[in-house]
Structures are given as C-alpha cells and as structure tokens.
Amino acid sequence: MKKRTTTQYAKALYELTRELKGEKMHEAVTEFVKMLARDHKLKQGTGIVSAFISYAKKMEGTIPLTVVTARKIAEKELIKIGDAISKNSEVTDEVDANILGGVIVKTDEMILDGSIKRQIERLKFALN
C-alpha cells in the first residue's frame, strides 16, 4: 500500500465533502474517519484537520497574511493592511521588537519587508 501524506488526506477530505451538507456530510466524514482508522492514521487527525482548513481556505480564495510589527497595532490597522493586499485575506498579527519599526507582511508566496531593521541593513550594504 502506498503511504499517503497528511496533505493528501486533507485534499481528499476536501474533495469528498466540498459540495455536501447535512446527513451526506456526516456519512462522508464517518467513512473518512473509518479510512483513517484502517490506515492507522488516527493519531495524525489534528494535522490532517489543520491541513484541510488551510487547503479549503486556499481553494476558496482566502489569502492568509501574517503582519509583523515591533509593537501591537489596532485591529483596524490590521484590516487596512490586509485589504491592501487582498479583499479576501485572513490576517494574523505577530509582534517582534527586533524589527525596530515598520511592517513585514508575509503570505504563502511572498514577504514584503518594510521594517526599519531591513532598511538599516540595506543602507549598511550600500555604504560598504
């Protein structure tokens, strides 16, 4: 039997359930859990669910963003930053005092670094 990864299970669950509702959804998930038990993968359930949520959001066009700042910023500002990247973003914040100031925005595909720390590094490089 070929080994399946957590991501493969998550994608399979998404494809299996994406258009189901009610009793049909319940039946499909029950069968999926039985398959996990058969494959001895129940201990990986939490990882599969996390991968499923990430995959489902990606398939639905939601862009996960992480906004890194030197200090906590207001929710309204986070929303503005998220909207500047995509109207369909899901923003989480992170505080890192080491960046000194400015903002770093991370997505799955890119990092926009507008931190003061990075600007100082660029200036040092330019002066050498």
The answer to whether residue 23 scores a pLDDT higher than 90 is: yes
pTM, 2 dp = 0.66
Own/partner pairs, 78-85, CB within 8 angstroms, 24+ separation: 81/105
pLDDT for the residue numbered 1 = 55
pLDDT for the residue numbered 2 = 72
pLDDT for the residue numbered 41 = 92
| Same structural domain, 50 and 71 | no
| Same structural domain, 72 and 102 | yes
Pull the structure tokens for residue 66.
């992480």
The answer to whether residue 64 scores a pLDDT higher than 70 is: yes
Helices (H), 39-128: 45-59, 75-85, 116-127
pLDDT digits (tens, 9 = 90+) for 87-125: 899 999 999 999 999 999 998 889 999 999 999 999 999
**CA atoms of 37 and 92, how far apart (whole Å):** 34
Average pLDDT of span 72-86: 91
Domain count, the chain: 2
Q: Are strands 89-95 and 63-69 parallel, antiparallel or unpaired?
A: parallel
**CA atoms of 107 and 89, how far apart (whole Å):** 10
The answer as to whether 1 is a domain residue is no
The set of residues, in sequence order, having a beta carbon less than 8 Å from that of 58 and lying 6+ positions away, is 108
Give residue 16's domain range.
Answer: 6-59
| Percent of the chain predicted with pLDDT > 90 | 78
Residue where a domain stops, chosen among 17, 41, 59: 59
pLDDT band of residue 128 (cuts 50, 70, 90) is: confident
Residue where a domain stops, chosen among 59, 83, 100: 59
The set of residues, in sequence order, having a beta carbon less than 8 Å from that of 118 and lying 6+ positions away, is 99, 102, 104
| Same structural domain, 53 and 74 | no
Residue where a domain stops, chosen among 44, 59, 74: 59
Average pLDDT of span 11-35: 93
For the stretch 32-49, what's the b/e string if a residue is b when 16 or more beta carbons lie within 10 angstroms of its beta carbon? beeebeeeebeebeeebe
